[in-house]
Amino acid sequence: MEQSELMVRRIKEGTVIDHIDEGKGIQVLDALRIDGKDGSLITIALNVPSGKSKKKDIIKVENKFLKDDDTNKIAVIAPKATINIIKNYKLIEKRRVSLPNEIDRIFRCSNPDCITNSAEHIESVMDLIDKESMILKCRYCARILDVNEIKYN
């Protein structure tokens, strides 16, 4: 076991999101709408040493098994993340995140006149039109958006 894994206590049941790019852990939590308000035990480790002069963030959510639909949302934020499903202290499933074709909710459209920015509380829906350059297109106003310049909701 890597030393870094020992820094965060093992969990009996739940999901471990590992290899999140350094500094992106909080955004990943936001994207997954994980805030702990339901009483679930969540451990977040930021800037965990990972290999030679590298760092990563790790999130452990106990008693929750995150599905592909949920975790693929984070692929735009943390493309190297791995999802580990733990049952009875054992790793029973490990998977990579893969970029979805569409992303809902996570990002805010930069067009102030877009209906998703109006008082109507319509959640954003964006199509990932270029997975190499991470270019999104708002489904409501058709504005082209760069993931690296866009604001999180």
Which residues of this chain interact with Zn ion, rule CB under 5 A? 109, 111, 114, 138, 140-141, 143
Query: In this complex, which beta carbon is closest to Zn ion, that of residue 65 or of residue 140?
Result: 140
Number of Cβ within 10 Å of residue 7's Cβ equals: 11
Query: In this complex, which beta carbon is closest to Zn ion, that of residue 17 or of residue 76?
Result: 76
Of 39, 29, 36, the C-alpha closest to 70 is 29
What span, in angstroms and rounded, lies between the C-alpha atoms of 56 and 24? 9
Query: In this complex, which beta carbon is closest to Zn ion, that of residue 97 or of residue 138?
Result: 138
The phi and psi torsions of 137 (rounded to 5 degrees) equal -130, 125
- Shortest Å, Cβ 151 to Zn ion: 12
- Shortest Å, Cβ 109 to Zn ion: 3
User: What does the block give as tokens for 135?
Assistant: 């270019």
- Shortest Å, Cβ 108 to Zn ion: 9
Query: In this complex, which beta carbon is closest to Zn ion, that of residue 76 or of residue 109?
Result: 109
- Shortest Å, Cβ 74 to Zn ion: 22
Q: 132: helix, coil or strand?
A: coil
